[in-house]
């Protein structure tokens, strides 16, 4: 794992965007795995700016999002389909047919999971996976569990996740209880992974991901076993990392 600690949230997004942009320059037909939520917003803003100013070209890029709420139609402003259009896709030159997000409205979620996995495999797998992290150390919507879930599957969201995500809804009772998410194996099969986190409320989860035991009770801890992970965190999210780790990390000023 390489750890980059930044001075600010904006800097975190910029570091992440640089890695994504570098990936696309080196391989214009890259397959990206993408996340939603507040964390990657500054990364998307930066990528849009790079597209608009120096013409970063997304025309050959394919994307697969990590997850979607079950029962959310793509035109619902709370859906992850809507989020991705709003923050990213409508601002860049990606082809709609190259954008993939699990279908939260699918009749048969088992079949939807299989369809999604086959599609990823047919595209040759994910080159670069972008991840956020939940306060309970979930990645995608892989919640703490007794075993690591393998492939795209239905998840029952933890109460902690429902409470955390209720900030996007009028009320916690409106947050869907179920989601469809890429599994841990899907994520671990990606060639490169970047994990982003900002804010003091993510410090414990970042500690578990980087320094904790590898256990499905802290799903992000599995990333310690991946061969190419860059963890990009602002200083608040890095607050609990021990001095030995902080001493050998790359620290960037905002
Ligand atoms: C989103 C996702 C989740 C989020 C995590 C953090 O697609 O897979 O794992 O990355 O819940 O969410 P935020 O960034 O809103 O704190």
| Tokens 């409205």 sit on residue | 105
Does residue 199 have its Cβ closer than 6 Å to ligand 1?
Answer: no
Measure 43 CA to ligand 1 centroid, in angstroms: 14
Q: Which atom of ligand 1 is nearest to the CA of 67?
A: 7
Q: What is the pLDDT of residue 65?
A: 98
Mean per-residue pLDDT, 175-194? 97
Q: What is the pLDDT of residue 71?
A: 96
Mean per-residue pLDDT, 208-222? 97
136 labelled catalytic: yes
Q: What is the pLDDT of residue 254?
A: 63
Identify the DSSP state of 18: H
Q: What is the pLDDT of residue 243?
A: 86
Q: What is the pLDDT of residue 136?
A: 97
Q: What is the pLDDT of residues 27-48, one digit of tens each?
A: 999 999 999 999 999 999 999 9
Hey, whose CA ends up nearest to atom 4 of ligand 1? 132
Q: What is the pLDDT of residues 96-128, one digit of tens each?
A: 999 999 999 999 999 999 999 999 999 999 999
| Percent of the chain's residues with pLDDT above 90 | 92
Measure 137 CA to ligand 1 centroid, in angstroms: 10
Does residue 139 have its Cβ closer than 6 Å to ligand 1?
Answer: yes
Render the burial of 160-179: b for 16+ CB within 10 Å, e for the rest.
ebbebbeeeeeeeeebbeeb
Measure 236 CA to ligand 1 centroid, in angstroms: 17
Q: What is the pLDDT of residues 232-245, one digit of tens each?
A: 999 999 999 998 88
- 9, pLDDT greater than 70: yes
Q: Which atom of ligand 1 is nearest to the CA of 138?
A: 9
Do 71 and 78 form a contact (C-beta atoms < 8 A)?
A: no
Measure 25 CA to ligand 1 centroid, in angstroms: 26
248 band by pLDDT with thresholds 50, 70 and 90? confident
Mean per-residue pLDDT, 162-175? 91
Measured distance CA(134)–CA(206) in Å, rounded: 9
234 labelled catalytic: no
Hey, whose CA ends up nearest to atom 9 of ligand 1? 140
143 labelled catalytic: yes
Q: What is the pLDDT of residue 253?
A: 74
Do 74 and 38 form a contact (C-beta atoms < 8 A)?
A: no
| Percent of the chain's residues with pLDDT above 70 | 99
Strands 178-181, 153-156: pairing is: antiparallel
Does residue 6 have its Cβ closer than 6 Å to ligand 1?
Answer: no
Q: Is 245 helix (H, G, I), strand (E, B) or coil?
A: helix
Alpha helices in 27-166 (DSSP H): 41-54, 80-87, 109-122, 159-165
What is the rounded average pLDDT for all residues in the chain? 96
Q: What is the pLDDT of residue 146?
A: 92
The architecture (CATH level 2) of 2-184+208-230 comes to 3-Layer(aba) Sandwich (3.40)
Measured distance CA(109)–CA(66) in Å, rounded: 15
Nearest-Å Rg of the Cα atoms of the chain is 17
91 labelled catalytic: no
DSSP 125-141: --SEEEE---TT--BTT
From the list 191, 203, 79, 185, the residue with the least C-alpha distance to 135 is 203
Do 209 and 184 form a contact (C-beta atoms < 8 A)?
A: no
Hey, whose CA ends up nearest to atom 15 of ligand 1? 37
């Amino acid at each position: 794992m390489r750890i980059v600690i930044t001075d600010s949230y904006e800097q975190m997004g910029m570091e992440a965007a640089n890695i994504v942009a570098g990936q696309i320059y080196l391989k214009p037909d890259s397959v990206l795995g993408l996340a939603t939520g507040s964390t990657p917003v500054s990364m998307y803003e930066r990528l849009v700016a790079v597209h608009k100013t120096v013409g970063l070209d997304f025309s050959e890029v394919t994307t697969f999002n990590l997850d979607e709420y079950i029962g959310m139609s793509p035109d619902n402003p709370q859906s992850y389909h809507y989020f991705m259009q709003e923050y990213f896709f409508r601002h860049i030159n990606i082809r709609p047919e190259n954008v993939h997000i699990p279908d939260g409205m699918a009749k048969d979620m088992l079949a939807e999971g299989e369809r999604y996995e086959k599609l990823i495999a047919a595209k040759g797998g994910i080159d670069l996976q972008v991840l956020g992290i939940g306060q309970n150390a979930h990645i995608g919507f892989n919640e703490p569990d007794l075993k690591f879930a393998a492939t795209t599957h239905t998840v029952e969201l933890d109460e902690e996740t429902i409470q955390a995500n209720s900030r996007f809804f009028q009320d916690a009772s409106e947050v869907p209880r179920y989601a469809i998410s890429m599994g841990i194996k899907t994520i671990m099969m990606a060639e490169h992974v970047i994990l982003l986190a900002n804010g003091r409320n993510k410090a414990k989860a970042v500690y578990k991901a980087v320094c904790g035991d590898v256990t499905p009770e802290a799903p992000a801890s599995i990333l310690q076993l991946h061969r190419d992970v860059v963890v990009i965190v602002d200083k608040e999210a890095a607050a609990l990392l021990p001095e030995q780790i902080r001493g050998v990390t790359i620290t960037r000023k905002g």
